[in-house]
Structures are given as C-alpha cells and as structure tokens.
Amino acid sequence: MTQRDLEGKTAIVTGGGSGIGRAITVRFAAAGARVAVLDVAREAAEEVAATVRKGGHVAAAFPCDVTRQGEVIDVFRAVAQRFGNPVSVLVNSAGVAHIGTVEQTTEEDFDRLYAVNVKGVYNCLKAGVTAMKVHGHGGAILNIASVASSVGIADRFAYSMTKGAVLTMTYSIARDYVGHKIRCNSVAPARVHTPFVDGYLATSYPGREREMFEALSRTQPIGRMGTPEEIAELALFLCSDRAAFITGSNYAIDGGFVTLKM
C-alpha cells in the first residue's frame, strides 16, 4: 500500500514534464499531493498531468518559463488559487545541460545555462519562500543539484558552475529561513537514464549508442545509471514530514560515484 506522505499538500515541481521532474510529479501525486507541473514545454506538462489524473490523483499543468521572474510569481499564485491551498512543497528540477570546457563554452552557452539553472532556481526560490512565509505554515524545498556540484568532471565547465550555485543556494535558504519552518535540501545525482541521455548518445555517437551507454553506465561504481524513479523516492522522503529534522543537507544519489571512484 502506498504511503500518503504528502496527503493534502500542494506541491510545485519545475521541469515536471520530463525526466526526473516527471518521476517526482508522479510519485508525489501517488503520495497524496496536489501537484502543479511546471514546464516550459506546455504539451509535455499537460501529458504528465493527464497521466497523473488517469491514475486517480490530482495534478495540473502550468506552462512556465522559470527564467522570467514575473511569470514565475504569477504561476505560483495561480497554483495556490487552482488548488485552494498555499504551496508547501517546491522541487526545483528544471535545468539544462551543456558539454564543454571553458574554451568550448560560448557566451551564449554560458548565458543560457545561467538563465535556467541559476536564475530559474532563484526565481522559484524567491516565489516559494515568499508564499511559505506569508501563509506562516512553513514548507519543504528540494533542489536538484548534481555530483558536479562538488567534484570536478571533465568537459562540464558551465554545467558544474550552475550546479555549484544550486548547492550553495540550498545552504543559504536553509540558514535564512529555518526560523520560518522552511526546510531546504538538495540531492546530487550522478548519471540518471533520462531521455536526455538517449538523445545525447544518438546525436554524439550514431551507431554506437549501446556501446557508449554501457561505457557511461560503468562510470558509476555500482555499474549502472540511476533511474528517475529512484531519485523520486529520495525526493519524496526529503519533502515529507518524515524528514522534519533534516535541512541544509545535500544527499548524494550516485551509485558511489563521489566516494568510491578510484
């Protein structure tokens, strides 16, 4: 029987239309949350929300470009009005990737990564914290960081920069708002098998997709990539009252990548 850890709570999941965000949306809804699926891709968000509703749970799609602060603030208000309950759970999963050294990173690449992965998280944190403070009920915030937040990974200059910022924003929010009963944590995945991985392999290694998939899988000491559903399980725990004593923490979910890598 599924535990209803988020029964009656309103949750926002950014980037909820695909990958890790999609898995978190589905898992949170099954745990009793009313989930707002925020994604710049309208059709993807609507498809996920429809899938959740078909399963007998509650979700609604809200197209949103997290890089635009005014749009984010309006959407957060619309979510509270739609569900008749203030937002008490926020997951910042929206993000974009980039492969390249500093020399290979153009100014346009850098600005795009910063806009989504740093400014987008800031915009949602600002709106989420404000809502949680105004209503006085506190809440739980989870940011999706990365192993790249804390260790050097080849050819990930701009991506690592943004995920390092996500990690330090997590610590800052946790410290500044602990007195308001707002908890803020992050998770740091290694490679997770999402549609992005499949697209990257198809583009970069045509005809060698299986070979390169296995090579990437072996970079985790456990011998495989993670699944979005595994990330969602940890996300559920950290956003539930079972984790009420946890804030300002970053959780590796990486198959041993950071601590066991030789």
- Kindly list the catalytic residues: 159
| Residues paired with residue 35 on neighbouring β-strands, in sequence order | 11, 59
Across 67-194, the runs of DSSP E, i.e. the strands, are: 87-92, 139-144, 182-189
- First-last CA distance in the chain: 40
Using the CB atoms, write b or e for 99-134: b if 16+ within 10 Å.
eeeeeebeeebbeebbbbbbbbbbbbbebbbebbee
| Residues paired with residue 100 on neighbouring β-strands, in sequence order | 156
Q: CA 127, CA 124: separation in Å to the nearest integer? A: 5
Q: Write the CA distances from 103 to 96, 115, 148, 163, integer angstroms.
A: 19, 20, 18, 19
Across the chain, the runs of DSSP E, i.e. the strands, are: 10-14, 34-39, 58-63, 87-92, 139-144, 182-189, 250-253
Q: CA 124, CA 161: separation in Å to the nearest integer? A: 19
Q: What is the CA radius of gyration of the chain?
A: 18
